[in-house]
């Protein structure tokens, strides 16, 4: 990895994780039997360390230990998907349900990208439909005892990097019509998010399937990576191979690992932002270079992570995104992590020299960059981390969510039908993540000033929401006073219901990178920062194509309960909401802003 600037290197070394000396036997895990134990953390947001006693006769355990020894750091995070909230999903009610059903890939629409900006290297009309198969198998949990540990990309040993490069190289060398081929795998993402599939299997042939901006975002990508990882492992005859995760949520991992920039490597992609190849990632990327220092970027990144995974994800609907059922479109809005950091990282890596931001900066082409899979491996890791935070940090139990299905090709070229309900526990799928520090849990944003009554003092120079004529254009900064339905709530009321800010009916050009920031009770929006408590979150959308239309509509939501406590504004009956356009906002319209309780 490229060397980090001195202040970042110092920050990277400043985080520690306390552990107790107690151990708990994981007798319920068939892989480890009673030969393994997990070191329990002192606090719920830290993770245990696995200790195993493998013998020569226990080949499966031995292979796992040998795989772990290839990592630079041998501590691993295991069992997050299973220990924190296991749910029995063997009999989910289906009567009257309306989950989105796996697409009939034989009806995959051709030329889903017609209408994208045309350029010399832009495949206008590209067909991203996979090979067809008349045989569909239902998913079965892996029967072997092999366990895969996904390692942090910046901590890989030279031997693991070589293994990763070889697996991708062999995937790229497969015949073009092999569903395991590198481009065919990239087409999966394109087909599911650019209008190639419709809900015909659900009885709605005129409604497309879109796996972003809803509660399907996390489970779809988890399944996608699951099969991708198994294909890579099979190509190098190593079933323990774990897909690395790009650890952009910790200072030491906030640059693209340097082995991705080797032009002779299978991991290389020429369509990346050349200014960012060795730069510190910007998790709040506004579509243009940031003028902040590297140390400020690190501080902002950690604050964004805290805001999006903790403050704005206190409820499953806030974390996963809005409901998405058969016959509908995902208009209720994406989850907190999908909005940011997921989307800004996509665009930060994408090449501005390309008219559509290819590769990683556009949904249709994102899978053509190997970094995509490491990026989403870390996004998937956020799901596992989030479930350890306690309280309402639990998987959605709605039958329509659990019974949603997709189809993927496996490592044996079988077309497999999978269900969301079967991917909720990573240990059941046979993988988990290397343990690394999680510094953003200690990065709660700091208020610029703690002052109550800011909204009331703004009366006369800022319109109340009742005086604002919606819909409004977001072609400039918007500031409105929003009345709170409830104030001075008790601690019990806050625990039962989270106060949530909703920006409703956001209509935007889906072929542009779109982003705006949301601040609450910020009197000085000319000097804003994600590191301050007034920052409520960001709305961000990556370019993508819908059939027959350029406009999309969705919502944005942000948690207010903790934020208002930190600003000492919990007793105020109004809040000042500021929307700051950052990228592609000239044609955005907003239908309204209100407060709800979930």
Residues annotated catalytic, as ranges = 189, 212, 221, 342, 346, 363, 376
Q: Is 185 in a helix, a strand, or coil?
A: helix
Residue 517 per-residue DSSP state: E
Q: At what angle do helices 158-173 and 217-235 cross, to 10 degrees?
A: 90
Return d(Cα 338, Cα 330) in angstroms, integer. Answer: 13
| DSSP bridge pairs for 71 | 156
Compute how many other C-beta atoms are within 10 angstroms of the C-beta atom of residue 295.
16
Return d(Cα 41, Cα 154) in angstroms, integer. Answer: 24
Here the tokens at position 529 are 């920062």
Return d(Cα 305, Cα 251) in angstroms, integer. Answer: 12
Here the tokens at position 160 are 């693991």
Task: Tell me the Cα Rg of the chain.
Answer: 23
Burial of 412 (0-12, 13-18, 19+ CB in 10 A): exposed
Here the tokens at position 64 are 């796992």
Return d(Cα 180, Cα 186) in angstroms, integer. Answer: 10
DSSP codes joined into one string, 418-484: EEGGGSS-HHHHTEEEE----GGGG---B-S---TTHHHHTBTTBEEGGGS-SSEE-SS-EEEEEE-
Here the tokens at position 445 are 């944003």
Strands 535-541 and 198-199: unpaired
Q: At what angle do helices 158-173 and 182-193 cross, to 10 degrees?
A: 80
Q: Residue 237: CA atoms inside 13 Å, Cβ hemisphere, count?
A: 0
Return d(Cα 469, Cα 164) in angstroms, integer. Answer: 55
Length of the chain as a residue count: 598
Cα angle vertex 385, ends 383, 386, to 5°? 65
Here the tokens at position 411 are 């490592």
Return d(Cα 333, Cα 227) in angstroms, integer. Answer: 27
Return d(Cα 108, Cα 198) in angstroms, integer. Answer: 8
Return d(Cα 160, Cα 150) in angstroms, integer. Answer: 11
3-state secondary structure 84-95: CCCCCCCCCCCC
- The phi-psi region of residue 85 (left if phi > 0; otherwise alpha if psi is between -120 and 50; otherwise beta) is left
Element (H, E) at 596: strand 592-597
Phi/psi at 385 (5° precision): -65, -45
* Residue from 344, 348, 343, 351 nearest 368 by CA: 351
């Amino acid at each position: 990895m490229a060397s980090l600037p001195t202040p970042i290197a110092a920050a990277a070394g400043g985080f520690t994780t306390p552990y107790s000396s107690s151990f708990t036997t994981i007798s319920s895990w068939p892989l480890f039997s009673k030969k393994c134990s997990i070191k329990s953390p002192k606090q719920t947001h830290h993770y245990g360390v696995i200790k195993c006693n493998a013998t020569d006769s226990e080949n499966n355990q031995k292979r796992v230990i040998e795989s772990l020894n290839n990592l630079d750091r041998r501590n691993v995070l295991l069992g997050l998907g299973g220990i924190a909230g296991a749910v029995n999903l063997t009999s989910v009610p289906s009567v009257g349900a309306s989950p989105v059903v796996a697409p009939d890939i034989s009806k995959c629409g051709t030329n889903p990208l017609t209408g994208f900006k045309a350029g010399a290297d832009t495949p206008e009309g590209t067909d991203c439909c996979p090979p067809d198969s008349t045989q569909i198998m239902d998913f079965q949990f892996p029967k072997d005892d092999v366990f895969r540990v996904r390692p942090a990309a910046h901590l890989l040993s030279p031997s693991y990097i070589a293994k990763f490069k070889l697996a991708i190289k062999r995937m790229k060398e497969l015949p073009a019509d092999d569903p395991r081929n590198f481009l065919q795998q990239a087409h999966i993402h394109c087909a599911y998010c650019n209008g190639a599939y419709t809900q015909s299997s659900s009885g709605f042939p005129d409604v497309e399937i879109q796996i972003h901006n809803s509660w399907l975002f996390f489970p779809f990508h988890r399944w996608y990576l699951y099969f991708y990882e198994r294909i890579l492992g099979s190509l190098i005859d190593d079933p323990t191979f774990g897909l690395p995760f790009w650890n952009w949520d910790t200072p030491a991992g906030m640059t693209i690992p340097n082995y991705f920039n080797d032009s002779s490597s299978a991991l290389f992609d020429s369509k990346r932002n050349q200014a960012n190849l060795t730069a510190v990632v910007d998790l709040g990327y506004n579509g243009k270079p940031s003028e902040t220092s590297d140390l400020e970027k690190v501080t902002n990144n950690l604050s964004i992570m805290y805001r999006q995974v903790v403050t704005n994800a206190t409820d499953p609907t806030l974390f996963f995104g809005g409901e998405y059922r058969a016959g509908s479109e995902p208009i209720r809005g994406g989850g907190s992590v999908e909005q940011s950091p997921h989307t800004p990282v996509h665009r930060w890596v994408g090449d501005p020299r390309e008219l559509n931001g290819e590769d990683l900066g556009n949904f249709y082409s994102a899978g053509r960059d190997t970094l995509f899979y490491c990026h989403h491996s870390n996004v998937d890791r956020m799901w596992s981390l989030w479930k350890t935070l306690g309280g309402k940090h639990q998987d959605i139990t709605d039958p329509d969510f659990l019974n949603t299905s997709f189809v993927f090709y496996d490592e044996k070229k079988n077309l497999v039908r999978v269900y969301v309900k079967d991917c909720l526990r990573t240990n059941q799928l046979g993988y988990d993540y290397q343990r690394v520090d999680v510094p953003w849990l200690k990065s709660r944003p700091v208020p610029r000033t703690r002052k109550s009554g800011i909204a009331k003092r703004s009366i006369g120079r800022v319109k109340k929401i009742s005086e604002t004529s919606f819909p409004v254009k977001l072609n400039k900064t918007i500031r409105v006073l929003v009345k709170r339905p409830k104030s001075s709530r008790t601690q019990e009321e806050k625990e039962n219901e989270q106060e949530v800010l909703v920006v409703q009916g956001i209509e935007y050009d889906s072929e542009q990178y779109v982003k705006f920031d949301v601040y609450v009770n910020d009197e000085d929006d000319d000097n804003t920062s994600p590191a301050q408590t007034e920052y409520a979150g960001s709305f961000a959308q990556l370019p993508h194509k819908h059939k027959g239309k350029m406009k999309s509509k969705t919502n944005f939501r942000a948690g207010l309960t903790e934020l208002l406590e930190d600003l000492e504004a919990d007793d105020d009956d109004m809040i000042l909401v500021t929307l700051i356009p950052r990228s592609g906002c000239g044609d955005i319209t907003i239908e309204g802003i209100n407060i709800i309780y979930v």
